[in-house]
Amino acid sequence: MAARLEVIVGPMFSGKTEMLIAKLHRAQYARKRIRIIKPAHDTRTQGFIASRAVNPDGTTEVTDTLSAVMVRTEQDFMRVVTPADFDVLAVDEAQFFPLDEPLKDSLGWFGRAIRALLRERRDTHLHIIVAGLDMDFAEQPFGPVPGLLALADSVEKLTGVCMVCGSDSGYISQRLIAGEQQLVVGDVSEYQVRCRACYEPPGIGPRGVVSAR
């Protein structure tokens, strides 16, 4: 069996991490050796990945967690994946791994490292599962995730519940605070899931939301 890459994408609060954790529990039941990493840039949870539920009052509640290694650089990544004593490599919030400046390709160091690992272990049962946002608040490709989608053997694109109209077609994370910076860590007070009809592009705020520009 050849090594394979699976990518899970969707807006915030669409259940990406919940799906990732469910797949990892299944791998554990099958006695697979798992390794989990996440970007050190994500300061919301340090040392673990967490699925969360949004409560009626707008707060979030952690529903499940798994330990993870925080990774900041390519050197960190290489230390985590060497030696190759794992069957499943899981990555959450992959959009936070930066692309090159100036831009070299659509993968950045993280995407290239994933591609190299798949090539190195191509004749093994290695299963890599990457979860993250494929699109930012301005409808732009986000980090290495779109490039990894092109490399993936399988893709699951999730939607969330629109926090304005309640439809089950939320496709983007609407930023509620001002600023043009792409990498802004936040939660329900900074972001909402929006469907295409309710989404307000940066600089356009007819519903009274602070312009994110």
Total count of residues recorded for the chain: 213
> Please, what is the angle between helix 74-81 and helix 108-120, to 10°?
20
Element (H, E) at 52: strand 48-54
Q: Taking the chain, what is the end-to-end CA distance rounded to the nearest angstrom?
A: 48
- The structure tokens listed for 21 are 């954790």
Q: Collapsing DSSP states into helix, strand and coil, what is residue 140?
A: coil
Which residues have a catalytic role annotated? 93
Distances (CA, A) of 102 to 31, 47, 97, 146: 43, 30, 15, 18
